[in-house]
Chains A and B, each alone.
Chain A
Amino acid sequence: MTQLTSIPQAIIAPELSWVGLALLLPLLAAVACALCCALRVKGKAAAIITILALAASFGIIVKAYFAYTGPVQVPIFQWLSFQWGTGQFQSFTANCGMYIDTLTLYWMLFVTGLGTLISIYASEYMEGDCGAGYSRFFFGICIFLFSMSALVLGDNLIMLYLGWEGVGLASYLLIGYDYARPAAVAAGKKAFIMNRIGDLGLALGIFMLWANYGTVQYSELFAAMNKGGQTSVNWDLSVIPFLLMLGAFGKSAQIPLFTWLPDAMEGPTPVSALIHAATMVTAGVYLIARMYPFFELHPEALATVAWVGGLTALLAATIGMAQYDIKRVFAYSTISQLGYMFLGLGVGTTFGACYHTLTHAFFKALLFLTAGAIMHGFAGQLDLRKLSGLRHLPGWRIVSWTMLVGCLWLSAFPYTAAFFSKDAILLKALTSVRADFRFLGWLGLFTAALTAYYTFRVWFRVCAGPLHFEPGAEGHDEPHDTHDTHDKHDTHGKPAPALAAKSTHAFHPHAPRWAINGVLLILAVGALVVGIPGYNETFAHKDNWAQQMIAGSSAMEGAGLAEDHGSQASQEHPTVLGMDAHTGLTVVGCTASIGGILVAWYLHLRSRKSADQLRAALLRRWWIRWVPICMENKWYVDEIYHACFRLPMWLGAQILSFGDRHFLDGVMVDGLAKLPVAVGKVFKPLYGGALQGYAATMAGGIALVVAWLSWVWLRGFN
């Protein structure tokens, strides 16, 4: 067993506490938004506050990046600090502080950056709710960003857990933003509860970490890892990564806790873009990356992560191929791409996973925002069977072309940013020593082809082809030819039934304005920019910026138990189809993505009827018809969960409720209440108004007294 490469030691740098403003500003903005809410502000003040605060946070993080010299630990204030003895396991410290290394800065850059951009987008997207829920929405956004910053910036696991719970709360609040709709409320609950199941694993993992190392602070944990004293794998230690990965799977929507993410699309689209594509769902990846040294001790844990990621990617891709709601397709795409990230973490390339996180954040946010623009303009219409040829509409060009950019990136079209990041992951998988990782690599390639197919299915259906559109069910009155302020509009959640009956020709789509278009353009440019590190590495043979960032942090790929894979691997192991690893992967990857695009072009642009004919043909043959049916029904995972968990719990609840009603309430409470009544009935003749009843009682009393006198009292005199 080779020693772990040493994790860089953090120094304590209180002079960097101004970085804490990045934590404080979203919190203050949240308070201000809450005030706007309470004061029923009618304008967009909450949005402006949020955008300014988040832009300032982004500025601080950029400044910190440029001021970075090495990993630092910055204390802010004392929070939880107990000591009840002098031994190693007799103190507990979890103060409010920041641990800033390259991984932190890497993550915070895109979190705050995307936060700012999406807030700008949302300021126009949510304007229909001005005066109603507008401020509440931005309050949720601020809470979310505060929690996410605490999660990433915190210097101990307790702050990470605080942020973890905070993002879960913000997600619940924002998914259920339109609380008048039961579907949204149910989706919020589902997300929260599934996250809680994962949080249990995370909490137990934190407890076990403290129980084994006596500390929950990163710096001390990494120091303990560096000393190598914990390389022995005993029962206690080996459980930790499995518990932590359970938390990660819950937050990042992997098998078995993924069904909440498609339902979370009930929330407004900026929420889907920010939280459920770019930032919150990457918290699981961040957790594993941060705690990577512990995972490296246990190859089984990493193998589990890889398998779960790979299978999730495939499963989600198959489901996405059969959905008709654009946002749902993108949701399953998110799950699938997250699966790729976990696959990357599992096979050993944290660089690949984190780089893919960055690129995915950009192009997935871009795709969601374009879907939101379509929804905003077509009164809630997202069914790709009812929209077509939007790039021909004036005012929709930017949306269509930015969507094309996003789709190309998602399909890992050659030499796009996502191509480089996916490449990194699959390379590591395919050149691995372990046969099952190689299998997962090929599975990943197959999934890439599927990804390309379903992505361009959406684009060819919605943006290409003949022009046709139908409005959705959430219409609000459109002033003809004017796109001015919308007074007294319904929120996006309330349908106006009268408009649904309108014919399509009287409906005018509401093209997006500068806020939406501008953000889409910036994101498209950003997606291009994040490809530069990969481009540098491949073509200019300069250092990959992302790889440098990751390798300098605790997520470094210390060569723990596995053998070192340097560039020698590709020469020693003829891997991909007999070719050199890089070239071979490039060839196969390009084939996969372009092939998928071509199939989509044929089935959804050239002859759209052939898609339906294919589906009908599949359904006719008994030996293959289960494939499309299962795909369209999301592989019945929700139904299985309902039967396995919700149904027994409901039965148990019925039994307990019955017991509560009849036993606890009936027998114990009511029965006890009937006791005094019964006792009263026994004594009723005493005062029943019958004279002789009184006399009989008196006789009884006399008898008692005489008996006592003669048998008890008198005996005392003997």
Chain B
Amino acid sequence: MNQELSSGFTIAANAPIAVALAISALLFVIGLVGFLCRRNMIIMFLCTELMFQGAALAMIAFARLRMDVSGQVFVIFILTVAAAEAALALALVVLLYRKRETLSADAWSDLGES
């Protein structure tokens, strides 16, 4: 097995970085899956936050790999944007909830064909 996989994560120079990269991919994908299959709007946004987590972890891992602090700087910006987006998104969700008295995303499929 080693032979086959030897040219894989060796870019990660040492194991923790490799594990961090793998985890970032997994977090991203788990967030994607959750977004696609949950119907509660707030939880859908929570899953997008999960995807943010995955991306941020990848950034940090590569910053550690390349010993460049820019990756961490970028994560700060990601944090900023995530905060702004969360605030606005939740405000909108509350408004939507007031209209239909439900948090289900299926209530808002007017654009599609019935």
Contacts and interface: CB of A to CB of B under 8 A. Distances in A.
Contacts of B106: 690
A690 B35 CA distance: 12
A695 interface: yes
B34 to A, nearest CB: 11
A689 B32 contact: no
Nearest to A696: B36
Interface in A430-457: none
Contacts of B105: 691-692
A692 B109 contact: no
Nearest to B105: A691
A699 B32 contact: yes
Interface residues of B, number: 13
B37 A692 contact: yes
A687 interface: yes
B112 interface: yes
Interface string B96-113: 000000000110111111
Interface of B (DSSP majority class)? helix
Contacts of B109: 688-691
A568 B17 CA distance: 132
Interface string A522-544: 00000000000000000000000
Contacts of A691: 44, 105, 108-109
A689 B37 contact: no
Q: Which of B35, B108, B110 has the most chain A CB within a 10 Å cutoff?
A: B35
Contacts of B108: 691
B113 to A, nearest CB: 7
B112 A690 contact: yes
Contacts of A696: 36
A606 interface: no
B110 A699 contact: no
A688 to B, nearest CB: 4
Interface string B19-42: 000000000000010011100000
A52 B78 CA distance: 107
B36 A699 contact: yes
Nearest to B39: A692
Contacts, number: 30
A684 interface: yes
Interface in A676-718: 684, 687-692, 695-696, 699
A684 B114 CA distance: 12
A687 B111 contact: yes
Contacts of B35: 692, 695
Given A691-B105, A699-B32, A684 B113 contact: yes
Contacts of A695: 32, 35-36
A690 B113 CA distance: 10
Nearest to A702: B32
Q: Which of B106, B110, B111, B112 has the most chain A CB within a 10 Å cutoff?
A: B112
A574 B105 CA distance: 119
Interface in A630-648: none
A692 B45 CA distance: 12
B112 A688 contact: yes
A689 B113 contact: yes
Contact of A689 (B36, B44, B110): B110
A690 to B, nearest CB: 6
A373 B112 CA distance: 82
A19 B71 CA distance: 109
Contacts of A688: 109, 111-113
A689 to B, nearest CB: 2
B100 to A, nearest CB: 14
A210 B28 CA distance: 87
B109 to A, nearest CB: 4
Contacts of B37: 692
Interface in B28-79: 32, 35-37, 44
B48 to A, nearest CB: 9
B36 A692 contact: yes
Contacts of A690: 106, 109, 112
Contacts of B111: 687-689
Contacts of B36: 692, 695-696, 699
A113 to B, nearest CB: 83
B92 to A, nearest CB: 13
B108 to A, nearest CB: 7
Q: Which of A690, A691, A692, A696 has the most chain B CB within a 10 Å cutoff?
A: A691
21 contacts: A684-B113, A687-B111, A687-B112, A688-B112, A688-B113, A689-B109, A689-B110, A689-B111, A689-B112, A689-B113, A690-B106, A690-B109, A691-B105, A691-B108, A692-B35, A692-B37, A692-B105, A695-B32, A695-B35, A695-B36, A699-B36
Interface of A: 684, 687-692, 695-696, 699
Interface of B: 32, 35-37, 44, 105-106, 108-113
Given A688-B111, A688-B112, A691-B108, 5 more contacts: A687-B111, A688-B113, A691-B105, A691-B109, A699-B32
The 10 A-B residue pairs with the shortest CB-CB distance, nearest first, are A689-B112, A689-B111, A688-B112, A689-B109, A692-B36, A691-B105, A696-B36, A695-B35, A690-B109, A699-B32
